[in-house]
A and B are shown apart, each in its own frame.
Chain A
Amino acid sequence: MDSVSVSFTLNGEPQGLTVPPAERLLGTPRYRVGLTGTKEGCGEGECGACTVHLDGLPVNSCLVLTAQVRGQSVETVESRKPDTLEPFLAGGATQCGACTPGVVMAASWILEHPELLRTHNTRELMAGNLCRCTGYDGIVDSVTAALTRNRRA
């Protein structure tokens, strides 16, 4: 089998693609659709740079085959409104930027589901996103600031 046909939604848009069976979800938006926000860091599910939402849950797109997402909803960092980034810019939560798309996807999941903080803290929820610049305090402070902003809004 040289290719498989897969239909899914990418950032709300229906996609019908024919891809090699070995293609990872990481590669499909990047190299087939032209959405290069999702980054590859480690390729082993440790760094979280490739984090996307699959049916609303954060996953490492380097560990998913595109052939597996038939009928599902995939969201990449491009789906997030620019103002999602505001707290990160204000808090200096981005340095080299390599981890930022994954960090934003993990953070936006927390912001969309503040009930997660009843059982988890921000650091545990973001433990799957490594920052090679080690800017963790800035990242966690920015998520906290964004949560506070949302509570007031």
Chain B
Amino acid sequence: MSVLSPGTLGEALGILAKDHAATPLSGGTDLLVHWPVRLEAHERTYLDLSGVNELKAHTWTKRDLVLGGRTTYWDIVGDSQAAREFPLLVAAARVVGAIQIQTRGTWAGNIVNASPAADGVPALMAYGAVVVLESTAGREEVPLDRFYQGYKKMSRRPDQLIVAIRIPRRSYDVQVFQKVGSRRAQAITKVGLAITRSDLGWRVVANSVAPTVCRCHAVEHMLESKVPVSSPDGFFQGLERDISPIDDIRSTAEYRKIVLSRLIYFELRGACDWIT
């Protein structure tokens, strides 16, 4: 095993350009779980980003909130502007693990770890976030809702690093975040939901109900078209097309579908007069 510790982004990208097997490491809250017994993980080369300070800060520009590649959940929990403009990011950050995870875990790591249960991703996707990838060959932007192609499959080449996550500043009149787990902290999500409505329309994003965190396009279409819904089961017609939940140690496919339809129904009933 080796740990390479570049001091600048340029050095980090230079290493990735040469060694495509190097695994970027920042907060370690996924990579180091049960570390002593995961001997196969000790055979790899890690690119430790702890010294790459230019990736740490998040910045507000006129048009965007830009998270750095190393920006943590806690960085956003502590930003009062984020609480006002992007409350779903703060709500999501506060239910990732507990404080000790929030102070280390990064938004970019949550994206590239590509867990279907990732709690930071639904809120980012509901806000139309864009993943900014960089390599020695240049920069590329990929909208987060087109970043995943399947379970743990994503649009990141091994020589690319997520250097930023760009979140456009828009005004929203509906913003919903819900996480259902066995307890409030330290729980892996059984069913999760983020919803926004802006000038660009509805975005409904769910986690733990498909191989990737996913937009629920059929449900979005039901909302855009104001399809009358008069019971909690009313969203099944959209969800049947949008999600493919499974039975696993944390929950069942049936529970996930039923709970997700109820979360959408009860969260939106007050905001939409066609949901009764």
Contact = CB atoms under 8 A, between A and B. Distances in A.
B99 interface: yes
Nearest to A105: B100
Interface string B26-47: 0111001111100000100010
Interface residues of B, number: 31
A21 interface: yes
Given A1-B1, A45-B29, A128 B35 contact: no
A60 B100 contact: yes
B50 A68 contact: yes
Interface string A32-72: 00000000000111101001001001111011110111111
A70 to B, nearest CB: 6
Contacts of A68: 3, 5, 25, 28, 48, 50
A4 B45 CA distance: 13
A63 B28 contact: yes
B99 A127 contact: yes
B104 interface: yes
B103 interface: yes
A24 B32 contact: yes
B191 to A, nearest CB: 20
A54 B36 CA distance: 21
B184 interface: yes
Contact of B103 (A24, A57, A62, A67): A57
Nearest to A128: B98
Interface residues of A, number: 34
A133 interface: no
Contacts of A89: none
Given A57-B74, A128-B97, A67 B5 contact: yes
Contacts of B174: none
B183 to A, nearest CB: 8
Contact of A63 (B32, B46, B77): B32
Instruction: Among A51, A65, A72, find the residue whose CB has the most chain B CB atoms closer than 10 A.
Output: A65
Interface in B142-197: 184-186
B2 interface: yes
Identify the 8 closest CB pairs spanning chains A and B, nearest first. Answer: A128-B98, A127-B185, A1-B2, A57-B103, A127-B98, A21-B3, A63-B32, A128-B100
Given A22-B42, A45-B29, 11 more contacts: A21-B3, A24-B35, A44-B34, A45-B32, A57-B74, A59-B104, A60-B101, A60-B104, A64-B32, A65-B46, A130-B186
Interface of B: 1-3, 5, 25, 27-29, 32-36, 42, 46, 48, 50-51, 74, 77, 94, 97-101, 103-104, 184-186
